[in-house]
């Protein structure tokens, strides 16, 4: 479901340190592969550069890392510090909306995406993220308009199409959902999109197609997604492979059972 997936988002895509190429703590702060390294690098940079022109961005980078780690109190504190320094700093507002979404506080996420779009309406990420918040709040018409604007601003990015595919699954508009998922996959084969197309095929009772999509999604995610494993387990069970289905559902339960079960309730797919 939307809440379980925590949305597909783009973070800090356009935010770069002003000045010379980052080195030392600044380089650690701006890299995205290791969140602990980002936190330590940003912390050192903030401590050593209290008047630096990139201070608000350093707080935002560190807040983003805290958000990914699930330390929402520290994340929100850092975004607050960034916005004290730069009240109209798009990246801090946008990243805070992601943090609120991870907290499942979609009303505050919506308020921040509104604010981000007022700051910079030409950045597709804000519209995409507002679509996510509106979807989570069941404001589907608003979400469709948001995703359409995100697509207009960046037609070559797969995520607005993917998110719109998920919205149409929730509405049980399977032809529209399948078309949007295929558009997303034509741009990039993201495991989450393959998972969604697998769910569509489950609902269409096309179990072989569903299992094929979910096999590919599992390979792309390293079989670490409870949602993918659960979906594949349901497809196998519905096809008649009880042993294979139970194995996947057990694996999903060991990863994130609540998310997997809630996802299927949200999509209107029978679970086990």
Are the C-beta atoms of residues 267 and 169 closer than 8 Å to each other? yes
Asked whether the CA dihedral 80, 82, 85, 90 is positive or negative, the reply is negative
C-alpha closest to that of 135 among 182, 101, 179, 173:
101
Q: How confident is the model at residue 254 (pLDDT cuts 50, 70, 90)?
A: confident
Local structure of 267: helix, strand or coil: helix
How far apart are alpha carbons 114 and 252 in whole angstroms? 35
Q: What is the mean pLDDT of the chain?
A: 89
| CB contact set of 223 (below 8 Å; sequence gap of 6+) | 229, 251
pTM for this model (two decimals)? 0.87
Per-residue pLDDT tens for 73-100? 999 999 999 999 999 999 999 999 999 9
117: three-class secondary structure by DSSP? helix
Domains of the chain with CATH codes: 23-87 (1.25.40), 181-272 (1.25.40.10)
pLDDT of residue 32: 84
Per residue in 158-180, pLDDT (tens digit) is 999 999 999 999 999 999 999 99
Q: Rounded to whole angstroms, how far apart are CA atoms 63 and 157?
A: 25
Indicate if the pLDDT at residue 28 is higher than 60: yes
Question: What is the Cα–Cα distance from 238 to 46, expressed in whole angstroms?
Answer: 55
Cβ neighbours, 10 Å, residue 141: 8
Pick from 201, 257, 209: nearest CA to 229? 257
Higher model confidence: residue 98 or residue 263? 98
Does the structure show a pLDDT above 90 at 264? no
pLDDT tens sequence across 176-193: 999 999 999 999 999 999
Q: Which pLDDT belongs to residue 271?
A: 59
């Amino acid at each position: 479901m939307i809440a379980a997936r925590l949305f597909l988002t783009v973070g800090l895509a356009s935010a770069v340190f002003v000045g010379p190429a980052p080195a030392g703590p600044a380089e650690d702060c701006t890299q995205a592969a290791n969140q602990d390294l980002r936190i330590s690098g940003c912390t050192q940079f903030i401590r050593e550069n209290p008047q630096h022109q990139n201070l608000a961005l350093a707080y935002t980078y560190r807040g983003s890392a805290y958000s990914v780690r699930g330390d929402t109190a520290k994340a929100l504190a850092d975004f607050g510090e960034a916005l004290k320094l730069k009240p109209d700093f798009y990246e801090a507002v946008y990243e805070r909306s992601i943090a609120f979404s991870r907290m499942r506080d979609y009303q505050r996420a919506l308020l921040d995406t509104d604010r981000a779009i007022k700051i910079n309406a030409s950045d597709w990420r804000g519209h995409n993220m507002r679509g996510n918040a509106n979807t989570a709040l069941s404001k589907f018409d608003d979400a469709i308009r948001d995703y359409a604007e995100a697509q207009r601003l960046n037609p070559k990015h797969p995520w607005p199409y993917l998110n719109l595919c998920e919205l149409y699954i929730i509405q049980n508009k399977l032809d529209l959902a399948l078309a949007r998922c295929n558009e997303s996959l034509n741009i990039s084969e993201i495991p989450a999109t393959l998972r969604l197309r697998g769910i569509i095929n489950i609902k269409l009772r096309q179990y072989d197609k569903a299992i094929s999509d979910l096999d590919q999604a599992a390979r792309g995610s390293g079989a670490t997604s409870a949602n993918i494993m659960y979906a594949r387990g349901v497809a196998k069970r519905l096809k008649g492979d009880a042993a294979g289905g139970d194995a996947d559902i057990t694996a999903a339960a060991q990863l994130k059972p609540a998310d997997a079960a809630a996802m299927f309730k949200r999509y209107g797919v029978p679970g086990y």
